[in-house]
Amino acid sequence: MSDLKGLSGEEARRRLVLEGANRVPQPRGRLGQIVLRTLSEPMILLLLIACGLYLSIGEPHEGLVLGLMVCVTITVTLRQQQKSEHALRALRDLSSPRALVLRDGRPVRIDGGEVVRGDVLMVAEGERVAADAVLLRGQNLKVDESLLTGESWPVNKAVSGGEIPGAVARGEALPFLWSGTLVVQGEGVAEVTATGRQTELGKLGASLTELDVQDTPLQRGNTRTIRVWALVALATSLLVTVLYGAMHGAWLSALLAGIAVSMALLPEELPVIMTIFPAIGAWRLARTNVLTRRLAAIEALGCVSVLCVDKTGTLTENRMRVEQLHAAGVTLRLDREEAVAGAPFEQLIRFASLASKQRAYDPMETALHAMAGGIREDEPLREYPLSAERSAMSQVWADDAGDASVVACKGAPEAVADLCQMSGPARHAIGHGCDGGAGPARNRRGGRPPRRSHAARCADRF
């Protein structure tokens, strides 16, 4: 990287002041706004009106009780908002990645919020990309973009102006890195093109803040009920006041009688019930680590009976598992989580795991480790990573006796065959075995075939 100098410290500070920190602005509900929004709800207005009416007719006890209910409602709303914002802020701080950039020609590890446009960003396996960038240099770089796309398959990345053979047909081989995505394989050097709100992740977050919050069906029903009963109470109160005053001539008593009738007709308990029970639901959800920013979400969640999802691609669990094994001319399908029986299959999964990295970020390697029952506690003696010349990786391990080394490799069929110096018939056999098991798996997945990896081993004595 001798020809890459990156930004100077002074220029980086200038851009940081000019363009702002590399963070997506988070809207915060101010105390006054939350209180006003709560007081403007029809149910709370009903309580306030009832409180005022009770005080006007000389019933301070009843008025204070309703006023206390209003205070409880506001307190619960503020407390729920505060807890949710605090938890979300803690999650944002936890997920804020640190970045390795070039400043004045030297690599410097900085907070992700200090990355600016034009920085030379260095990414490696297991790191999250701190900002949108274009890949300048890279080696076997794969990125998990499920945060943006929902797809669990890692995406191959090519250097700007370069190409990954065989990847274009799948829409890959692009040089763009997106903020928040995870590097699962390889390493690279990229130039930052956008930070903060200008990143794709920032634009997505900004669009979510612009969504209009609509009332739930229960809220609309309560508002309609309160309006109807308020009109009925008002009409009845006026009628009683006029009739009582006309018949007895005591208009003050008539007014008090009309107010008393209206208080009897108003559904004062409804606002209290609609506040206390959602608060209890939010508390129960919080015990299961589910955040509730608005109490109305409790009702919306409870009304869900069918969830319809529409997206490009497939709905996945964002994880992979071993579905099929092929060894010694025999194919074993794993339709469920089950133990692998038989020496050929046990050796296959063992050495496939040994050929995978110990600290795996690739979902395929994670699935291989899970099938093998975990990873070894010791470290490999040597590692030969994937390269552009050979699409296979190998790791050298010491055997249990310590007097020999075991080499485990995995990768594309042709690469494994070359490493094992396999003959023509043997090459044809592994190719036929791989193709023979692809059809049913493709049909079960509804279109996209499963990812395949071949594994092999050899032992050498020193």
Within 8 A by CB and 6+ apart from 5, the residues are 102, 104, 105, 120
What's the CATH number of domain 98-209, 1.10.1370.30, 2.70.150.10, 3.30.1130.10, 2.40.100.10? 2.70.150.10
**What is the reported pLDDT for 30?**
63
**What is the average pLDDT score of the chain?**
75
Q: Which has the closest alpha carbon to 336: 371, 301, 298?
A: 371
CA distance 273 to 30: 26
Grouping H, G, I as helix, E, B as strand and the rest as coil, residue 310 is: coil
Q: How far apart are CA 419 and CA 434, in angstroms?
A: 18
| Residue type, position 370, single letter | A
Q: Which of 36-40, 188-192, 263-267, 285-289 is the most confident on average?
A: 188-192
Tokens representing 236? 């009845």
Q: Which of 126, 129, 125, 132 is nearest to 99 (CA)?
A: 129
Q: Which residues make Cβ contacts (< 8 Å) with residue 258, sequence separation at least 6? A: 236, 237, 238, 240, 241, 244
Left (φ > 0), alpha (ψ -120 to 50) or beta: where does 155 sit? beta
Structural domain spans, the chain: 24-92+213-302, 98-209, 324-461
The model's pLDDT over 311-341, given as tens digits with 9 standing for 90+, comes to: 555 556 667 778 888 777 777 777 654 555 6
Dihedral, CA of residue 366, residue 371, residue 376 and residue 377, to nearest 10: 70
Options 3.90.76.10, 3.40.50.300, 1.20.1110.10, 1.20.1260.10; CATH for 24-92+213-302 is 1.20.1110.10
CB contact set of 13 (below 8 Å; sequence gap of 6+): none
Q: Residues in the chain, how many?
A: 462
Residue 302, phi then psi, degrees to nearest 5? -70, -20
- Is 385 within 8 Å of 393 (Cβ atoms)? yes
pLDDT tens-digit series, residues 348-382 = 888 888 888 877 767 788 888 888 887 777 788 88
Position 122 scores a pLDDT of 92
Fold type of domain 324-461: Calcium-transporting ATPase, cytoplasmic domain N (3.40.1110)
Instruction: For residues 433 and 257, give the distance between their C-alpha atoms in angstroms, rounded to a whole number.
Output: 91
CA dist 384 and 366 (Å) reads 19
CB distance 268 to 50 below 8 Å: yes
Question: Mean pLDDT across the stretch 412-427?
Answer: 76
The answer to whether 24-92+213-302 and 324-461 have equal CATH topology is no
